Structure 1
Amino acid sequence: MQRNETIPTRAPAWAGALVGLVSGGVALGVAQLLAGFFGPATFPVVAVGDAVVDLTPAPVKDFAIATFGENDKAVLVGGVLVVLAGIAALIGVVARRRLAYGLAGLDAFGVIGALAVFTRPGAVALDLLPTVAGVAAGSVALAWLLRRATVSRVSTSRVSTALPAPGPPAEVGEGEPASTAPEPERPAVMRAGGEVAEFDRRRLLTGAAGGVVVAGATALLGRQLSGQRAVDAARLGVRLPRPAVPAGPIPAGADLRLPGLSPFVTPNRDFYRVDTAISVPQVDPNDWTLRIHGLVGRPVELTYADLLKLPLTEADVTLTCVSNEVGGPYVGNARWLGVRMADVLRRAGLRSDADMLLSTSADGFTCGTPVDVVMDGREALFAIAMNGETLPVEHGFPVRQVVPGLYGYVSATKWVVDIKVTRFDTDQAYWTPRGWSAKGPIKTQSRIDVPKAGDSLKAGATTIAGVAWAQHTGVEAVEVRVDRGEWRRARLAQVPGPDTWRQWSIDWNATTGEHTIEVRATDAAGRTQTERIAPPAPDGATGWHTITVQVG
């Protein structure tokens, strides 16, 4: 052995885990920084999350929506990050033995991230750059931190690598104080005439702190560069034209204004959001186009400026998610502004054999909408505004679909960029092969908002109230019963048309004890919602909303 050779050492397991975590953070930070230039979908965490969504069985998705609601995507991304953190720590521990093992681990997860990015719709080779650069930065950080965790000291004496056998303490000469200094933390391997590599806690921690700063700064800058600010600025700069066909004023009696009752118009900030987008697409309206092709006489391509020049229609429409359980929150009502889909499709010249519109969003999601529903005269819109303001980004800016009477999974495509006119027997949309019905007409439903399930009430006069919906047919009656007694008709609020939900209320003289309250609605065609309980899959939940309250 040459005299000045450095003898390697192995840092403690906790140090390896710390090195792995910081290196993983640097890798993700650099990847997110570059994804700020190439688009959110090129960030490997988002791409992996999207892939998980696509591959997850429908029952698991239903469970996630039912359990976590609109936070399901945040929970998924958080879960991905937790898994990555655990793996990064393990990589750091393994890298203590041999750096090549740690680098191989980073490369393996880089391959997984790259595959997730490259298999997204519209991906190109350059989209892999954030992942590749991230893995490279993480590898450099891993090697640097492991080197920093050790320091070489020259050893001139011959010391065995084996630990000495325990024995009595060395004798101390008269007048010589015994040493009480603690042994330093130095798991060193020492040989004659070589250098001793010792673990250096301070150098590791200062290096790790620097790595955390790099990871945080690059991630933050990447988020700022992701295009959100530019799209927000473009959205605020849109001047909405006046509608050629304005909606009439909302009837004075449409909102009963009872505490706890859902308002007739759902504020944008409170409107439910259920979609497959892990990262909300940031679509610049200046770059947006809508392509209509397939079974048409003449393909059409519209820019955002083209769309704003067309006659705009305003309509009050309630949207409902097929994932909504009986009594659930995934329903809301808004006033929408947009171009009638039927007018645009007529410009393309639909062929007589077409029966489906396969729409695609900017993030690759697809849904299939029946042609006859869009063309039957209802206010199906390519919407550009919601409740008097330009569409919020999370609700589909710059353009989304709004089709009364259909669940959102077959009609309400956000960030829509492409319409293929086709047939149900030749094409399938995103949810159909995952077990959901190809067509999704909304089922008549009603919900109790006041009181809430489990509430404790005072005995005496009280009010039971809620909302009911039967989009594009309309609600004709709502009935309520307590403790399986007689059904009593509720008072109905006014509505501007058949495409919105309808508020209802009924007086109740509450008596002491536990009570069960049920509600059912009947649509304008005379169909009363069924008592039969069914889950959301495959075509919408059924049953009567039932709650229990305590009166004291």
Structure 2
Amino acid sequence: MTTDLAPAPVAVSRPRLLAAATGIVAALAFFAAAELGALVLGGAGSPLVAVGSAVIDLAPPGAKDLMVTLFGTGDKVALFVLMVVIVAVVSAGAGILERARPPFGALVFAVGGVLSLLAVTTRSGSGTLDGAPSVLGVAAAVIVLRLLTARLRRWESAAAVPSAAPRPASAERRAFLVWGVTAAAVAVVVGGASRLGTAAAQATAAARRAVRLPAPATTAPAVPAGASLDVEGITPYVTPNSDFYRIDTALRVPSVDTADWKLRIHGAVDHEVELTWDDLLALPLEEHHATLSCVSNEVGGDLIGTALWLGYPIRKLLERAGPHASADMVLSRSIDGFTAGTPLDVLQDAGTAALLAVGMNGEPLPPEHGFPVRMVVPGLFGYVSATKWVTELEVTRFADAQGYWTPRGWSERGPVKLESRIDTPRAGATVDAGSTVAIAGVAWQPHTGVKGVQVRVGDGAWEEATLADSVSADTWRQWVYRWTPTKGSHRIQVRAVSADGEVQTSVERPPAPNGASGWHTVEVRAA
């Protein structure tokens, strides 16, 4: 005789306690998602910091005095612990409420998110996107809370009525525990790592705010009034820091304390040179306008910008080190491991304003643009010259070392090509037939300079555009051509002429391996 033995039901022990645990795990998910969002924003919008600061600001003087009396210099730690306890209690209550009366538990987290959003957005200096981490945190918390609560209910149902459950209670219990433990572990790891990264970013921002750059020993010539054309839609002559393109290999912007920063010049040199931040600022710094561009820039692309840079000539630092006669390359290294191979003769050229830069457009370098120190070398693409967060200059040879991008298929040397771009009218635009239309844009070949720009409409003749002034050959030049269109579709092309007479090539090439080429072309319609 055969007897079927059904698995014994697994009762849910202390369901309210488990529900409370789901609320705490949801709170951890809020923390993890919000801190990850704050990290992506460069340390801005952290609810943890904003709420703590709001509590300090709103606390009555008596409470502040009591905290200092009880905990002394540990008052901030005590406040943090108190906040954790309060959040844990409220989150546990939200978990119990969600199990008993959904969706009220989720609403508790929504209210908490609104409070953290207010704390973040009302802080002095908050930006437009600073509230995003709070929103992201609420979404993560609600999703985790509802998911775990649903798993807990399945376990309770399977334990209460085993015959009606699609799976045994033991399986539902395992599923609940696996989901809960996994969510908690991921939240702790992601949240903790993000908080460390956010704290480092905030420390860097604070260090940058404390920097007072010295006045330059050599100031840049003033930008002439004629360098900027009064044409709507044209690119500004000097690019604001907030609009300057950013292309690098850093997944997260490195946080570098000026007190710890050092530059080491070594390799094939007579004397190794080491420079601290204070050493660098004590040197006679120079200002220079320069246009930088990325080798990945497509024809007509916007991975290019012009700024006023403050720094010290790299050639003078190399003079201290005394490069060997056999050397022909300087391998610069960033704190994040990126490397770039720059021709030694370019860095030694007295006519090239290659700088170890500390300032950009009148302020310390923004973190995403290399704070505290980066390289700026007019005339070379950034992948072989513009190392951000630079810490090393190794004098060597192209035969013995390679920069980051060279073994990945890019050329070992990257001189900027002669290029031009139409900023207005945009491709696909409709203009008024019979009116005067400004065709305008920028043209560049840093270090060589541009002496002419020509525009062609359809298959007509190339016409000379009017060039704006410039500070030097190291910057781009604005240009404009006045055109009276007839009705219909029109193709507009532009090409530049360099200061040494070279005419921009029509041969179309992609960015790899050493920069794109071809004439920028737009199609517009006149009606």
TM above 0.5, yes or no, is: yes
The answer to whether the 8 A contact 1:188-1:199 is kept is: yes
The equivalent residue for 1:257 is: 230
**RMSD, aligned α-carbons:** 3.8
TM (norm. structure 2) is: 0.69
The equivalent residue for 2:314 is: 341
Q: Which is richer in helix?
A: 2
Equivalent of 1:511 in 470, 486, 492: 486
The answer to whether the 8 A contact 1:148-1:203 is kept is: no
CA gap of 1:528–1:153, structure 2 versus 1, over 3 A, is closer
Distance 1:259 1:233 in 2: 37
Q: Which amino acid aligns with 2:430?
A: S
The answer to whether the 8 A contact 1:274-1:321 is kept is: yes
Deviations 1:356-397 (A, max 9, x none): 000111110000000111111111000000000100000000
Q: Which amino acid aligns with 1:290?
A: L
Secondary structure at the counterpart of residue 226 of structure 2: coil
Matches within 5 A, 1:118-267: 150=155, 186-189=165-168, 197=170, 199=172, 211=184, 218=191, 222=195, 225-267=198-240
Q: Does 1:384 align with 2:358?
A: yes
The answer to whether the 8 A contact 1:151-1:198 is kept is: no
The equivalent residue for 1:443 is: 417
Deviation at 1:211, TM superposition (A): 4.4
Deviation at 1:287, TM superposition (A): 0.7
Q: Which moved more, 1:395-404 or 1:205-214?
A: 205-214
Deviation at 1:500, TM superposition (A): 0.1
Deviation at 1:150, TM superposition (A): 3.4
The equivalent residue for 1:78 is: none
Deviations 1:478-500 (A, max 9, x none): 00010020011000000111000
Deviation at 1:147, TM superposition (A): 8.9
CA gap of 1:507–1:342, structure 2 versus 1, over 3 A, is same
The answer to whether the 8 A contact 1:471-1:498 is kept is: yes
The equivalent residue for 1:473 is: 448
Deviation at 1:469, TM superposition (A): 0.2
Deviation at 1:151, TM superposition (A): 5.2
CA gap of 1:426–1:506, structure 2 versus 1, over 3 A, is same
The equivalent residue for 2:271 is: 298
Q: Does 1:540 align with 2:522?
A: no
Deviation at 1:226, TM superposition (A): 3.7
Q: Which amino acid aligns with 1:443?
A: K
Distance 1:200 1:258 in 2: 69
Q: Which amino acid aligns with 2:254?
A: P
The equivalent residue for 1:282 is: 255
Deviations 1:214-245 (A, max 9, x none): 55993596156540111100001111101111
Identity %: 50
The equivalent residue for 1:415 is: 389
CA gap of 1:515–1:212, structure 2 versus 1, over 3 A, is farther
The equivalent residue for 1:550 is: 525
Q: Which amino acid aligns with 2:232?
A: P
Q: Does 1:455 align with 2:460?
A: no
Q: Which amino acid aligns with 2:394?
A: K
The answer to whether the 8 A contact 2:29-2:183 is kept is: no
Equivalent of 1:424 in 381, 393, 398: 398
Distance 1:530 1:505 in 2: 20
Deviation at 1:248, TM superposition (A): 1.0
Distance 2:9 2:483 in 1: 84
Matches within 5 A, 1:349-368: 349-368=322-341
Secondary structure at the counterpart of residue 343 of structure 1: helix
The answer to whether the 8 A contact 1:246-1:314 is kept is: yes
The answer to whether the 8 A contact 1:149-1:201 is kept is: no
The answer to whether the 8 A contact 1:6-1:152 is kept is: no
The answer to whether the 8 A contact 1:151-1:197 is kept is: no
CA gap of 1:440–1:210, structure 2 versus 1, over 3 A, is closer
Equivalent of 2:369 in 384, 388, 395: 395
Q: Which amino acid aligns with 1:524?
A: A
Secondary structure at the counterpart of residue 312 of structure 2: strand
TM (norm. structure 1) is: 0.66
Q: Which moved more, 1:485-494 or 1:143-152?
A: 143-152
Distance 2:471 2:191 in 1: 51
Distance 2:338 2:239 in 1: 25
Distance 1:244 1:210 in 2: 57
Q: Does 1:497 align with 2:476?
A: no
CA gap of 1:228–1:149, structure 2 versus 1, over 3 A, is farther
